[in-house]
Amino acid sequence: PPRRRPTGKRPAPTHPTTNVKSVQIPESITVKEFAQAIEVSASDVIKKLIALGVMASINQEIDLDTATLVGAEFGVKVEAAPTAEETLLLE
């Protein structure tokens, strides 16, 4: 007898959804820390970096400008975190 295919519907593939609309990061951050900050897998961040022509491993640091470009690809606004000096001046 021929095999029957299951009739149940398969769940729709889940795409990573980010609730984060804006994150603050320091002037330089590792790829891993950046991925955690924007709630995306590090491998996805590395893929975007490669697409932008930046060869980076998970432990390498990226600058704020690069992080801003990658964040925009994921729909996340990246801002510079205030430095310790700026925090002291504001108080």
Structural domain includes residue 33: yes
Which amino acid is located at 51 in the chain? A
> pLDDT above 90 covers what percent of the chain?
60
Of the candidates 54, 68, 57, the one whose C-alpha atom is nearest the C-alpha of residue 26 is 68
Using DSSP, state whether 14 is helix, strand or coil. coil
Q: Are strands 77-80 and 22-25 parallel, antiparallel or unpaired?
A: parallel
Predicted confidence at residue 21, as pLDDT, reads 77
Count Cβ atoms below 10 Å from residue 12 Cβ, excluding itself. 6
CATH of residue 41: 1.10.10
Q: What is the pTM of this model?
A: 0.70
pLDDT at 19 over 60: no
Structural domain includes residue 84: yes
Structural domain includes residue 16: no
Structural domain includes residue 71: yes
Structural domain includes residue 73: yes
Q: What is the Cβ-side half-sphere exposure of residue 48, based on CA atoms within 13 angstroms?
A: 20
The single-letter DSSP state of residue 90 is H
> pLDDT above 70 covers what percent of the chain?
79
Give me the domain span that covers residue 59: 22-90
Q: Which of 3-7, 9-13, 36-40 has the highest mean pLDDT?
A: 36-40
For the chain, how many structural domains are there in total?
1
